[in-house]
Amino acid sequence: MPSRSFVTIGLVGPDRSGAIAAVTQQLFRMGANIESLEEQVARGKFRMTLLASWPGSKLEGQKIRAQLLSLAQQLRMKLTLRLSDATRTRKRLAILVSKEMHAAEAILRAWKSRGLSAEPVLLAGNHPQLRSLARRFRLPFAFIDYRDRPRAEAVLQSHLEKAEVDLVVLARFMKILSPDFVWHWKNRILNIHPSLLPAFPGASAYRQAYDKGVKIVGVTAHFVTPDLDQGPILCQDVLRLRPNEPLASIISRGQKLEATCLLRALKLCLSRQLDIHWGRVHGV
């Protein structure tokens, strides 16, 4: 089959009639084929994600970006683009962190040992502590000041676009992403949560489990959606608690489980064609 190159387009802004038609007509004039389209209107805000393809292995990326950016400005909407030409064989990863390194380090070790069919291209964090981890693996590090979330997400989005990132991995990144940001990366953000979701969502999951006296705790790797810790589940793992085991020991053992579960989920995303339907992941 002839090769094709793909562009993922995200559009967020005030709801207005004709927005979908304006984008699809522009793409038709540019010679694109629309592979998929999903849109949502909630509380007067319009969100759309669209996958378009062009024949051939090379994209006229600057021309495509310029024309669609001009259209987005006319619609008074925010545009994001992710270009992926047919010559790229490995997904490009951004790993987001806070202060804990166990999950990110597991991914980077797998990459260095050639156990990961992807290329980490960026480590970004809302704390500067893990800059040393990026330095150790010779990756660029972006410190994202999250005291102002809209500004922080704009800076983060800029870093992701410049690095031409395909997948975002939240490796114990302890900040909540806005619905608009998540929409631009629909089914492209993986997270690891330290509980067997849907039990114990939100912060301090190990503490919640400890306080409830549960006998089995676990971890969940899932896609991120605008609803906190409610995204489609990729994989889970569990550990049985020892009698009178202290919280510090539970956290320590749980962190090892987090690292292996997140890495397994990432490999699933990279190795298989997953279908997400009615909030469930199929093909795993």
Q: Are residues 210 and 162 in the same domain?
A: yes
- The pTM (predicted TM-score) of the whole model is 0.86
Average pLDDT (122-149) is 96
Is the per-residue pLDDT at 271 higher than 70?
A: yes
pLDDT of 278 above 50: no
Q: Tokens 């979330």 — which residue?
A: 149
> With contact defined as beta carbons under 8 Å apart, do 80 and 186 qualify?
no
Token output for 91: 């997904």
Q: Please name the helix (run of DSSP H) or strand (run of DSSP E) that holds residue 12, with its range, or none.
A: strand 4-14
Residues tagged active-site: 229
**Residue 190 near residue 222 (C-beta atoms within 8 A):** yes
Quote the CA–CA distance of 145 and 265 in Å, as a whole number.
28
Q: Give residue-wise pLDDT tens across range 34-56.
A: 998 988 887 788 988 898 988 87
Residues 39 and 95 in one domain: no
CATH code of the domain in which 29 resides = 3.30.70.260
- Would residue 213 be called left, alpha or beta, if left means φ above 0 and alpha means ψ between -120 and 50 degrees? left
DSSP states of 93-123: EEEEESS--HHHHHHHHHHHTT--SEEEEEE
On whether both 72 and 55 belong to a single domain, the answer is yes
- Asked whether residue 102 falls in the same domain as residue 240, the answer is yes
pLDDT digits (tens, 9 = 90+) for 96-131: 999 999 999 999 999 999 999 899 999 999 999 999
Q: Return the residue matching tokens 């809302």.
A: 126
- For residues 104 and 137, state if they share a domain: yes
Look up the domain containing 11 and give its range.
4-84
Mean model confidence pLDDT for the chain: 89
> Quick one: 254 and 130 in the same domain?
yes
- Cα angle at 94 between 89 and 97, to 5 degrees? 155
